[in-house]
Chain A
Amino acid sequence: MRVALFITCYNDALFPDTGKAVTAVLERLGHTVEFPAAQTCCGQMHYNTGYRREADSLVGAFNDAFRGYDAIVTPSGSCGGHVRHHHKTETAPNVYEFSEFLVDVLEVTDVGAYYPHRVTYHPTCHSLRMLRVGDKPLQLLRAVEGIDLVELPEAESCCGFGGTFAMKNSETSVAMLQDKMGNVRKTGARTLCASDNSCLMHIGGGLGRVKSGVRTLHLAEILAATR
């Protein structure tokens, strides 16, 4: 199986450790992965903000970069969901969000990770309602050795990020963020996990501002952690 990494533009520039973690987990499971260097961005930000024409120009380039792979794995439910739903191309159906790829395609839930901390999980809206990943990320987390996984109250409520919504409607976005942060703190977890760095950037930015001591970590990074 030829597996390509679709790292997404903001992971590439802002959260390279997530991509490294995805690579580490897949290689630990015995798979060879490739990073098609021609990849840039799936165009979701443009599409969702109403700049469809600009988004369309990125679709062909995405398809060219990923043509020929059996699976295209991405650590973002949001970008993965966008490609699967809105790119009408041959590569679109082969795109998998990281947890989907592990559980559905590789049929693995225990990836041999070790993370001895209290963790709570936020299911991001697009992985939940666009890709319908269900409890796959939780199946993976439950199999992590040493983890103290606690349920997040009102977990399925949106954190308020929403891409450009966070800027255009920043006050509403922050009101939603505050409720999410309150729920995170109720759990007593030291780590907030999600499978999308865009939501984590928003929640983590809020948690950092109030010096909560809670760190945000992408699912892949927890799964990559070993003894």
Chain B
Amino acid sequence: MSRDDVNVVWLGSPTFPKAAHDALQDTQLRRNLKHATTTIRDKRLKAVAELDDWETLREAGSQIKDRVMRHLDEYLLQLEASVTAAGGVVHWAQDAREANAIVSKLVRAKGATEVVKIKSMATQEIGLNEALEDDGIEATETDLAELIVQLNDDRPSHILVPAIHRNRTEIRDIFKREMGKHGIAAPEDLTDEPRALAEAARVHLREKFLRAKVAISGANFACADTGTVGVVESEGNGRMCLTLPETLITVMGLEKVLPSFSDLEVFLQLLPRSSTAERMNPYTSLWTGVTPGDGPQEFHLILLDNGRTKTLADVEGRSALHCIRCSACLNVCPVYERTGGRSYGSVYPGPIGAVLTPQLVGVGTSEHADSLPFASTLCGACYDACPVRIDIPEMLVHLRAKVVDSHRGGVPKPEALAMKGAQVVFGSPRRLAMAERLGAMAGRFVGIRGGRWLPGPARKWTGARDVPVPARESFRTWWRKAGRR
């Protein structure tokens, strides 16, 4: 992957249906995904059922996020003041290029050529690792799943479990083949036992933790009133990054700010249950600026826009920015379950990716991004699972309308013509009745073929499904003939 390859979306990504085609052929991938999503779905339901005020919490989360969006400018300025007062340095980055340049400059100023990283969606979004590599700096992912993906020069396929598409045997092979090229090699006799795999990663990473002068993290939350930044994780590798090195650089999307420290109460209940189905995640690290003699002595917070203020401007679409990256929507999505995350061609896969990605890169700017809002049956499972009640189905149809509107004018596509035609037919009951009679006639020809074959675009239906043969007599005709009123 080159640095131009990564900026929210992966350059050259095909449209969703094309990418899904490849994923659907991969039976191992589908088995891995089915197993993983089904397991976590059931666990999440149990974890959520333990709280009798779950719906109230969701509503609270939704309202806090709503308030953040309405007053984002004020909260960000307050955050900047609090972080500065606590001894940190705040940087503002308008896009990926700016953010990467700031990080690179800070790392070089420390004379470092390698950094450790704790899994962060924001740095993936801006392609930080690739940008650093171009500047001669090696970044090592320390989240276990992220490390697996990085070692294999692969792409993550899940927000929380980036290597969800790999099974244990595949992971063992990746470790044996790649670890030695980047540091301490995996043992020759490595098995695919989880304990052995974890130990190999531990040995490999420990050396890097102890040597690194600079660490880079994302942020789950940042409190405007106190300047406290927080990261939640499961393995403790994040905490190693956040506490051992001399310099800590945090790259955070603008929308992660919370009004106050007390808001964490709501989100620290919502996030672990929704993401890993745990009552509490094993490691919650909170830091406020710098503390002399304890932890990193230099702290930089980079506030990243990269399409967020543009998204904020769309009142109907902005709640995509409420997302706390728990991935509950991925785990319940029937489309994600079959296609996996890489089909979405973006660092943000699944239902939330389908609404966030097109907005960050701009609706109507590429065929790929425009295909994402259509990658859903609108079944609504994501809305029910979302801990901050993002109405993803409603936003999907909102973005579909924006996609369609961006293509209005010029020569209409067959679909637009069909929709217009249907509108004309449905415009009057008389025209509809006539169309039904024609359909019934045509239907008898289809019926001769047993409903198995239709020409043109309809073949997409008849490839695997019979078509219903239109009734000889429509309901309305039956009703009229029966002399009913």
Q: Which residues of A contact B (CB under 8 A)?
A: 7, 9, 11-17, 19-20, 34-35, 37-41, 43, 45-52, 54, 57-58, 61, 125-126, 128-130, 156-158, 160-177, 201-202, 204-206, 208-209
Contacts and interface: CB of A to CB of B under 8 A. Distances in A.
B443 to A, nearest CB: 9
A49 B400 contact: yes
Most buried by B among A20, A35, A49, A50: A50
A41 to B, nearest CB: 4
Given A38-B429, A57-B423, A202-B465, A49 B404 contact: yes
Given A13-B439, A16-B478, 18 more contacts: A13-B440, A14-B471, A16-B474, A17-B471, A39-B429, A51-B419, A54-B423, A58-B423, A58-B426, A125-B380, A160-B377, A167-B461, A171-B21, A175-B24, A175-B338, A176-B334, A176-B335, A205-B464
4 A-B pairs with the lowest CB-CB distances in the bound complex, closest first: A162-B377, A205-B465, A50-B400, A129-B380
Contacts of A165: 374, 376-378
B423 A174 contact: no
B334 A209 contact: no
A169 B480 contact: no
A40 B461 contact: no
Interface residues of B, number: 67
A40 B427 contact: yes
B419 A15 contact: no
Contacts, number: 191
Given A48-B400, A126-B380, A169-B374, A201 B468 contact: yes
Contacts of B470: 13-14
Contacts of B383: 129
B484 interface: yes
B247 interface: no
A45 B418 CA distance: 11
Nearest to B336: A172
Interface string B423-463: 10111110010011001100000000001100001101101
Given A50-B400, A51-B404, A129-B379, A172 B20 contact: yes
Contacts of B405: 50
A144 to B, nearest CB: 24
B154 interface: no
B460 A206 contact: no
A146 to B, nearest CB: 27
B422 A57 contact: no
B401 interface: yes
A197 B420 CA distance: 24
B203 to A, nearest CB: 40
B101 interface: no
A219 B296 CA distance: 65
B70 interface: no
Contacts of A35: 475-476, 479, 484
Most buried by A among B30, B334, B373: B334
B90 interface: no
Contact of B403 (A16, A50, A170, A201): A50
